[in-house]
A = this chain, B = another copy of it.
Amino acid sequence: MASTDSGRPGAGGTPAPARAAGGRTTSRDVARAAGVSQATVSLVLGDKWRGRVSERTAGTVREAARELGYRPNLAARNLRLGRTRTALLVVPALTSEFFARVYTGANGVAAEHGFGVVLYPSPVGTGPALDPFDSARAALDGVIASSMAADTLSGMRGGGLPLVMLDSDPRAGTGTAATVNLDIADGMRQVARHLLALGHRRFAHLAAAVDSWTFRERAGALTRAVAAVPGPALARESAALEVEAGRRAAERVLRVAAERRPTALVCDDDLLAAGACKAARGLGLRVPEDVSVTGFDDLALATAVDPELTTVRLPAEAVGARGMTALLDALDGRVPDTAPLPVLLVPRASTGPPPRP
Protein backbone atom coordinates (compact mmCIF):
# COMPACT_ATOMS: atom_id res chain seq x y z
CA MET A 1 0.00 0.00 0.00
CA ALA A 2 2.69 2.43 1.02
CA SER A 3 2.97 4.68 -1.92
CA THR A 4 5.20 7.68 -1.52
CA ASP A 5 7.65 5.75 0.55
CA SER A 6 10.94 7.05 -0.66
CA GLY A 7 10.92 8.62 2.78
CA ARG A 8 14.27 9.67 4.16
CA PRO A 9 16.93 7.95 2.13
CA GLY A 10 19.98 8.25 4.36
CA ALA A 11 21.09 11.72 3.47
CA GLY A 12 24.86 11.74 3.25
CA GLY A 13 26.95 14.88 3.43
CA THR A 14 24.44 17.57 2.63
CA PRO A 15 25.62 19.74 -0.26
CA ALA A 16 22.84 22.06 0.91
CA PRO A 17 20.23 21.18 -1.68
CA ALA A 18 17.71 23.77 -0.63
CA ARG A 19 14.99 21.24 -1.25
CA ALA A 20 14.75 17.90 0.50
CA ALA A 21 15.54 15.13 -1.93
CA GLY A 22 12.35 13.16 -2.38
CA GLY A 23 10.01 15.03 -0.09
CA ARG A 24 8.25 18.36 -0.06
CA THR A 25 9.85 21.65 0.73
CA THR A 26 9.74 22.42 4.43
CA SER A 27 10.03 25.67 6.30
CA ARG A 28 13.54 24.59 7.23
CA ASP A 29 14.50 24.39 3.58
CA VAL A 30 13.24 27.92 3.16
CA ALA A 31 15.15 29.03 6.24
CA ARG A 32 18.37 27.53 4.92
CA ALA A 33 17.89 29.04 1.49
CA ALA A 34 17.22 32.47 2.95
CA GLY A 35 19.98 32.13 5.49
CA VAL A 36 17.72 32.66 8.47
CA SER A 37 16.16 30.56 11.19
CA GLN A 38 13.00 28.59 10.95
CA ALA A 39 11.34 30.88 13.44
CA THR A 40 11.90 33.87 11.21
CA VAL A 41 10.36 32.04 8.30
CA SER A 42 7.33 31.20 10.38
CA LEU A 43 6.95 34.80 11.48
CA VAL A 44 7.25 36.23 8.00
CA LEU A 45 5.04 33.71 6.26
CA GLY A 46 2.54 33.87 9.10
CA ASP A 47 2.39 37.63 8.55
CA LYS A 48 3.20 38.47 12.16
CA TRP A 49 6.59 40.07 11.63
CA ARG A 50 5.73 43.77 11.77
CA GLY A 51 8.39 45.27 13.95
CA ARG A 52 10.00 41.94 14.69
CA VAL A 53 11.81 41.16 11.47
CA SER A 54 13.55 43.64 9.21
CA GLU A 55 11.86 44.51 5.97
CA ARG A 56 14.88 43.26 4.10
CA THR A 57 14.96 39.85 5.77
CA ALA A 58 11.24 39.46 5.26
CA GLY A 59 11.71 40.07 1.57
CA THR A 60 14.48 37.51 1.34
CA VAL A 61 12.35 34.92 3.09
CA ARG A 62 9.33 35.47 0.90
CA GLU A 63 11.50 35.30 -2.17
CA ALA A 64 13.05 32.03 -1.05
CA ALA A 65 9.65 30.58 -0.26
CA ARG A 66 8.32 31.53 -3.66
CA GLU A 67 11.42 30.23 -5.36
CA LEU A 68 11.15 26.85 -3.71
CA GLY A 69 7.41 26.64 -4.15
CA TYR A 70 7.04 26.23 -0.43
CA ARG A 71 3.68 25.12 0.89
CA PRO A 72 3.24 24.80 4.63
CA ASN A 73 2.43 21.38 5.92
CA LEU A 74 -1.12 21.65 7.20
CA ALA A 75 -0.87 18.57 9.34
CA ALA A 76 2.04 20.04 11.23
CA ARG A 77 0.41 23.39 11.61
CA ASN A 78 -2.82 21.87 12.80
CA LEU A 79 -1.01 19.68 15.27
CA ARG A 80 0.90 22.60 16.68
CA LEU A 81 -2.07 24.95 16.81
CA GLY A 82 -4.60 22.46 18.02
CA ARG A 83 -7.13 23.81 15.61
CA THR A 84 -7.66 23.54 11.90
CA ARG A 85 -9.82 26.47 10.86
CA THR A 86 -12.01 23.95 9.12
CA ALA A 87 -15.70 23.31 9.59
CA LEU A 88 -17.65 20.32 8.38
CA LEU A 89 -20.98 20.88 6.70
CA VAL A 90 -23.15 17.79 6.88
CA VAL A 91 -25.96 17.63 4.35
CA PRO A 92 -28.48 14.90 3.62
CA ALA A 93 -28.08 15.17 -0.14
CA LEU A 94 -25.64 16.58 -2.59
CA THR A 95 -28.07 16.89 -5.41
CA SER A 96 -30.17 19.62 -4.05
CA GLU A 97 -29.55 23.22 -4.93
CA PHE A 98 -30.76 24.08 -1.50
CA PHE A 99 -27.69 22.56 0.09
CA ALA A 100 -25.43 23.86 -2.61
CA ARG A 101 -26.59 27.32 -1.72
CA VAL A 102 -26.26 26.68 2.00
CA TYR A 103 -22.69 25.69 1.32
CA THR A 104 -22.05 28.82 -0.69
CA GLY A 105 -23.34 30.98 2.12
CA ALA A 106 -21.35 29.17 4.78
CA ASN A 107 -18.22 29.20 2.70
CA GLY A 108 -18.46 32.93 2.10
CA VAL A 109 -18.53 33.74 5.78
CA ALA A 110 -15.88 31.13 6.51
CA ALA A 111 -13.51 32.58 3.94
CA GLU A 112 -13.77 36.01 5.54
CA HIS A 113 -12.47 34.46 8.72
CA GLY A 114 -9.78 32.30 7.23
CA PHE A 115 -11.84 29.17 7.61
CA GLY A 116 -12.51 26.41 5.14
CA VAL A 117 -15.67 24.36 4.81
CA VAL A 118 -15.65 20.69 3.96
CA LEU A 119 -18.78 18.98 2.77
CA TYR A 120 -19.98 15.71 4.16
CA PRO A 121 -22.93 14.18 2.38
CA SER A 122 -24.59 12.04 4.98
CA PRO A 123 -24.95 8.54 3.56
CA VAL A 124 -28.32 7.96 1.97
CA GLY A 125 -29.56 5.42 4.45
CA THR A 126 -28.96 8.00 7.16
CA GLY A 127 -28.56 5.14 9.55
CA PRO A 128 -27.46 6.22 12.99
CA ALA A 129 -23.99 4.78 12.43
CA LEU A 130 -22.64 7.69 10.48
CA ASP A 131 -19.24 8.93 11.44
CA PRO A 132 -18.21 12.11 9.67
CA PHE A 133 -15.32 12.43 12.06
CA ASP A 134 -13.72 9.43 10.53
CA SER A 135 -14.99 9.64 6.99
CA ALA A 136 -13.99 13.16 6.27
CA ARG A 137 -10.45 12.75 7.36
CA ALA A 138 -9.93 16.43 7.83
CA ALA A 139 -9.46 17.42 11.41
CA LEU A 140 -12.27 19.73 12.34
CA ASP A 141 -13.02 22.66 14.58
CA GLY A 142 -16.75 22.34 14.38
CA VAL A 143 -19.72 20.85 12.61
CA ILE A 144 -22.71 22.38 10.88
CA ALA A 145 -25.52 19.97 10.12
CA SER A 146 -28.42 20.84 7.89
CA SER A 147 -31.92 19.40 7.78
CA MET A 148 -30.91 16.09 9.24
CA ALA A 149 -33.32 13.27 9.80
CA ALA A 150 -34.20 12.83 13.43
CA ASP A 151 -32.38 9.57 13.98
CA THR A 152 -29.20 10.88 12.40
CA LEU A 153 -28.87 13.45 15.11
CA SER A 154 -27.78 11.03 17.75
CA GLY A 155 -24.78 9.81 15.82
CA MET A 156 -23.70 13.36 15.28
CA ARG A 157 -22.49 13.99 18.78
CA GLY A 158 -19.12 12.39 18.28
CA GLY A 159 -15.90 14.19 18.93
CA GLY A 160 -17.41 16.66 21.32
CA LEU A 161 -17.11 19.33 18.67
CA PRO A 162 -19.29 22.43 18.61
CA LEU A 163 -22.39 21.62 16.60
CA VAL A 164 -24.64 24.08 14.82
CA MET A 165 -27.92 22.73 13.50
CA LEU A 166 -29.59 24.21 10.45
CA ASP A 167 -33.27 23.87 9.64
CA SER A 168 -33.74 21.46 12.52
CA ASP A 169 -35.75 21.01 15.65
CA PRO A 170 -34.65 23.75 18.07
CA ARG A 171 -35.57 21.58 21.02
CA ALA A 172 -33.24 18.77 20.00
CA GLY A 173 -30.36 20.96 20.93
CA THR A 174 -28.86 19.28 23.94
CA GLY A 175 -25.23 20.12 23.60
CA THR A 176 -25.88 22.04 20.43
CA ALA A 177 -24.10 25.36 20.12
CA ALA A 178 -26.92 26.93 18.15
CA THR A 179 -29.83 26.27 15.82
CA VAL A 180 -30.40 28.42 12.76
CA ASN A 181 -33.90 28.09 11.46
CA LEU A 182 -36.13 29.23 8.70
CA ASP A 183 -39.61 30.37 9.48
CA ILE A 184 -40.95 27.26 7.79
CA ALA A 185 -44.30 27.47 9.55
CA ASP A 186 -44.86 30.98 8.30
CA GLY A 187 -44.07 29.84 4.76
CA MET A 188 -46.73 27.20 4.95
CA ARG A 189 -49.14 29.71 6.41
CA GLN A 190 -48.53 31.98 3.43
CA VAL A 191 -49.30 29.09 1.10
CA ALA A 192 -52.52 28.32 2.93
CA ARG A 193 -53.57 31.95 2.99
CA HIS A 194 -52.87 32.28 -0.74
CA LEU A 195 -54.95 29.25 -1.61
CA LEU A 196 -57.78 30.08 0.77
CA ALA A 197 -57.96 33.58 -0.68
CA LEU A 198 -58.25 32.09 -4.15
CA GLY A 199 -61.28 30.22 -2.87
CA HIS A 200 -59.93 26.70 -2.38
CA ARG A 201 -61.61 24.55 0.24
CA ARG A 202 -60.54 20.98 -0.54
CA PHE A 203 -56.80 20.51 0.04
CA ALA A 204 -54.38 17.66 -0.19
CA HIS A 205 -50.94 17.72 1.33
CA LEU A 206 -48.22 15.83 -0.50
CA ALA A 207 -45.88 15.23 2.40
CA ALA A 208 -42.25 14.21 2.11
CA ALA A 209 -41.70 10.76 3.59
CA VAL A 210 -38.69 11.98 5.55
CA ASP A 211 -38.69 12.13 9.29
CA SER A 212 -37.17 15.52 9.92
CA TRP A 213 -38.17 18.65 11.73
CA THR A 214 -38.56 20.74 8.63
CA PHE A 215 -41.20 18.44 7.14
CA ARG A 216 -43.05 17.89 10.40
CA GLU A 217 -43.16 21.65 10.71
CA ARG A 218 -44.67 21.98 7.23
CA ALA A 219 -47.32 19.39 7.98
CA GLY A 220 -48.25 20.92 11.32
CA ALA A 221 -48.45 24.46 10.03
CA LEU A 222 -50.63 23.48 7.10
CA THR A 223 -52.97 21.49 9.30
CA ARG A 224 -53.37 24.38 11.70
CA ALA A 225 -53.79 27.01 8.98
CA VAL A 226 -56.49 25.02 7.25
CA ALA A 227 -58.23 24.20 10.51
CA ALA A 228 -58.29 27.88 11.42
CA VAL A 229 -61.09 28.61 8.97
CA PRO A 230 -64.37 26.73 9.04
CA GLY A 231 -65.17 24.24 6.39
CA PRO A 232 -62.06 23.15 4.52
CA ALA A 233 -60.97 19.53 4.21
CA LEU A 234 -57.38 18.35 4.17
CA ALA A 235 -56.23 15.00 2.85
CA ARG A 236 -52.64 13.87 3.17
CA GLU A 237 -50.41 11.51 1.23
CA SER A 238 -46.69 10.83 1.67
CA ALA A 239 -44.06 10.31 -0.94
CA ALA A 240 -40.32 9.93 -1.19
CA LEU A 241 -38.55 13.08 -2.28
CA GLU A 242 -38.57 12.33 -5.97
CA VAL A 243 -40.61 13.51 -8.90
CA GLU A 244 -41.91 10.06 -9.73
CA ALA A 245 -42.93 9.33 -6.15
CA GLY A 246 -44.72 12.67 -6.10
CA ARG A 247 -46.51 11.81 -9.28
CA ARG A 248 -47.78 8.53 -7.90
CA ALA A 249 -48.88 10.08 -4.62
CA ALA A 250 -50.73 12.86 -6.43
CA GLU A 251 -52.39 10.30 -8.64
CA ARG A 252 -53.73 8.48 -5.58
CA VAL A 253 -55.11 11.73 -4.23
CA LEU A 254 -56.65 12.92 -7.49
CA ARG A 255 -58.23 9.68 -8.63
CA VAL A 256 -61.56 10.30 -6.91
CA ALA A 257 -64.92 11.65 -7.96
CA ALA A 258 -64.68 15.27 -9.11
CA GLU A 259 -66.86 16.63 -6.33
CA ARG A 260 -64.58 15.15 -3.64
CA ARG A 261 -61.34 15.78 -5.48
CA PRO A 262 -58.96 18.29 -3.88
CA THR A 263 -58.66 21.51 -5.82
CA ALA A 264 -55.28 22.37 -4.35
CA LEU A 265 -52.23 20.18 -3.91
CA VAL A 266 -49.82 21.55 -1.34
CA CYS A 267 -46.44 19.88 -1.78
CA ASP A 268 -43.57 19.73 0.68
CA ASP A 269 -41.05 20.35 -2.02
CA ASP A 270 -40.72 21.48 -5.62
CA LEU A 271 -39.83 17.98 -6.79
CA LEU A 272 -43.04 16.63 -5.41
CA ALA A 273 -44.92 19.53 -6.97
CA ALA A 274 -43.41 18.75 -10.36
CA GLY A 275 -44.61 15.19 -9.95
CA ALA A 276 -48.04 16.42 -8.95
CA CYS A 277 -48.32 18.47 -12.12
CA LYS A 278 -47.42 15.45 -14.20
CA ALA A 279 -50.04 13.38 -12.40
CA ALA A 280 -52.70 16.00 -13.00
CA ARG A 281 -51.95 16.20 -16.69
CA GLY A 282 -51.84 12.43 -16.87
CA LEU A 283 -55.39 12.35 -15.54
CA GLY A 284 -56.52 14.96 -18.03
CA LEU A 285 -56.66 17.76 -15.50
CA ARG A 286 -55.24 21.18 -16.26
CA VAL A 287 -52.99 23.11 -13.88
CA PRO A 288 -54.10 25.49 -12.49
CA GLU A 289 -57.61 25.52 -14.04
CA ASP A 290 -58.66 22.18 -12.57
CA VAL A 291 -56.18 21.82 -9.78
CA SER A 292 -53.70 24.21 -8.20
CA VAL A 293 -50.26 22.99 -7.13
CA THR A 294 -47.75 24.58 -4.77
CA GLY A 295 -44.14 23.69 -4.09
CA PHE A 296 -41.58 24.58 -1.48
CA ASP A 297 -37.92 25.68 -1.78
CA ASP A 298 -38.03 27.58 -5.07
CA LEU A 299 -35.41 25.47 -6.82
CA ALA A 300 -34.46 26.00 -10.45
CA LEU A 301 -36.92 23.23 -11.19
CA ALA A 302 -39.74 25.52 -10.08
CA THR A 303 -39.32 27.66 -13.15
CA ALA A 304 -38.14 24.84 -15.39
CA VAL A 305 -41.52 23.16 -15.44
CA ASP A 306 -44.59 24.38 -17.17
CA PRO A 307 -46.57 26.01 -15.66
CA GLU A 308 -44.01 27.59 -13.36
CA LEU A 309 -44.60 26.70 -9.75
CA THR A 310 -46.05 28.84 -7.03
CA THR A 311 -43.66 28.03 -4.23
CA VAL A 312 -42.00 29.25 -1.04
CA ARG A 313 -38.58 30.77 -1.51
CA LEU A 314 -36.04 29.72 1.10
CA PRO A 315 -33.03 32.00 1.70
CA ALA A 316 -30.55 29.14 1.55
CA GLU A 317 -27.38 31.23 1.36
CA ALA A 318 -28.47 33.19 4.39
CA VAL A 319 -29.00 29.95 6.28
CA GLY A 320 -25.48 28.83 5.50
CA ALA A 321 -24.00 32.20 6.32
CA ARG A 322 -25.82 32.43 9.61
CA GLY A 323 -24.83 28.88 10.44
CA MET A 324 -21.17 29.60 9.91
CA THR A 325 -21.45 32.85 11.84
CA ALA A 326 -23.06 30.98 14.71
CA LEU A 327 -20.28 28.40 14.70
CA LEU A 328 -17.64 31.12 14.73
CA ASP A 329 -19.48 32.81 17.59
CA ALA A 330 -19.62 29.59 19.55
CA LEU A 331 -15.94 28.95 18.93
CA ASP A 332 -15.10 32.37 20.28
CA GLY A 333 -17.39 32.08 23.27
CA ARG A 334 -19.92 34.56 21.96
CA VAL A 335 -23.61 33.77 22.03
CA PRO A 336 -25.00 33.10 18.54
CA ASP A 337 -27.93 34.94 17.04
CA THR A 338 -30.87 32.60 16.82
CA ALA A 339 -33.83 34.40 15.27
CA PRO A 340 -35.57 32.48 12.49
CA LEU A 341 -34.99 33.64 8.92
CA PRO A 342 -38.08 34.86 7.03
CA VAL A 343 -39.31 33.05 3.93
CA LEU A 344 -41.46 34.31 1.10
CA LEU A 345 -44.26 32.90 -1.02
CA VAL A 346 -43.63 33.42 -4.72
CA PRO A 347 -46.95 33.17 -6.59
CA ARG A 348 -46.56 31.91 -10.14
CA ALA A 349 -48.64 30.11 -12.72
CA SER A 350 -49.42 26.83 -10.99
CA THR A 351 -52.10 28.28 -8.73
CA GLY A 352 -55.41 29.88 -9.57
CA PRO A 353 -59.04 29.88 -8.46
CA PRO A 354 -60.65 26.47 -8.02
CA PRO A 355 -62.86 25.22 -10.85
CA ARG A 356 -66.55 26.18 -10.65
CA PRO A 357 -68.52 23.14 -9.58
Binding site for B on A (CB under 8 A): 1, 3-4, 7, 23-24, 69, 71, 73-76, 78-79, 82-86, 93-97, 99-100, 103-104, 111, 115-116, 118-119, 121, 133-139, 141, 158-160, 242-244, 271, 274-275, 277-278, 281, 300-301, 303-306, 331-333
- A118 to B271 alpha-carbon distance, docked (Å): 27
**Does the CB pair B103–A116 fall under 8 Å?**
no
Q: Can you list 19 A-B pairs, Cβ within 8 angstroms, ordered by A? A: A3-B332, A3-B333, A24-B160, A69-B160, A71-B158, A74-B137, A79-B79, A85-B137, A93-B100, A94-B99, A95-B95, A116-B138, A118-B119, A118-B136, A118-B137, A271-B300, A274-B304, A277-B306, A281-B306
Q: Which residue in chain B gives the minimum CB-CB distance to A270?
A: B304
**Does the CB pair A139–B73 fall under 8 Å?**
yes
- A103 to B124 alpha-carbon distance, docked (Å): 13
- A97 to B141 alpha-carbon distance, docked (Å): 29
- A342 to B119 alpha-carbon distance, docked (Å): 30
Q: With both chains docked as a complex, state the minimum distance between the C-beta of A166 and any C-beta of chain B, in angstroms.
A: 16
Which B residues lie within 8 Å of A243 (CB)? 300, 303-304
Q: Which residue in chain B gives the minimum CB-CB distance to A103?
A: B94
**Does the CB pair B301–A304 fall under 8 Å?**
yes
Which B residues lie within 8 Å of A116 (CB)? 134-138
Which B residues lie within 8 Å of A331 (CB)? 3-4
- A94 to B91 alpha-carbon distance, docked (Å): 12
Q: With both chains docked as a complex, state the minimum distance between the C-beta of A159 and any C-beta of chain B, in angstroms.
A: 6
Closest 7 A/B residue pairs (Cβ): A138-B138, A94-B100, A75-B78, A116-B137, A3-B331, A243-B304, A75-B79
Which B residues lie within 8 Å of A82 (CB)? 4, 7, 23
Q: Which residue in chain B gives the minimum CB-CB distance to A274?
A: B304
- A155 to B230 alpha-carbon distance, docked (Å): 63
**Does the CB pair B139–A121 fall under 8 Å?**
no
Which B residues lie within 8 Å of A158 (CB)? 71
Q: Which residue in chain B gives the minimum CB-CB distance to A138?
A: B138
- A3 to B301 alpha-carbon distance, docked (Å): 42
**Does the CB pair B4–A303 fall under 8 Å?**
no
Asked, given contacts A83-B3, A271-B304, A304-B243, whether A138 binds B121 with beta carbons under 8 Å apart, the answer is no
Which B residues lie within 8 Å of A4 (CB)? 82-83, 331
**Does the CB pair B305–A137 fall under 8 Å?**
no
- A316 to B158 alpha-carbon distance, docked (Å): 32
Which B residues lie within 8 Å of A103 (CB)? 94, 121
**Does the CB pair A304–B275 fall under 8 Å?**
yes
Q: Which residue in chain B gives the minimum CB-CB distance to A306?
A: B278
Q: With both chains docked as a complex, state the minimum distance between the C-beta of A337 and any C-beta of chain B, in angstroms.
A: 18
- A271 to B299 alpha-carbon distance, docked (Å): 13
Contact of A304 among B141, B305, B333 (CB under 8 A): B305
Which B residues lie within 8 Å of A85 (CB)? 137
- A244 to B139 alpha-carbon distance, docked (Å): 41
Which B residues lie within 8 Å of A7 (CB)? 82
**Does the CB pair A138–B86 fall under 8 Å?**
yes
Seed contacts A3-B332, A301-B301; 8 additional CB < 8 Å A-B pairs: A3-B331, A75-B76, A75-B84, A95-B97, A137-B138, A138-B138, A243-B304, A244-B303
Q: With both chains docked as a complex, state the minimum distance between the C-beta of A326 and any C-beta of chain B, in angstroms.
A: 13
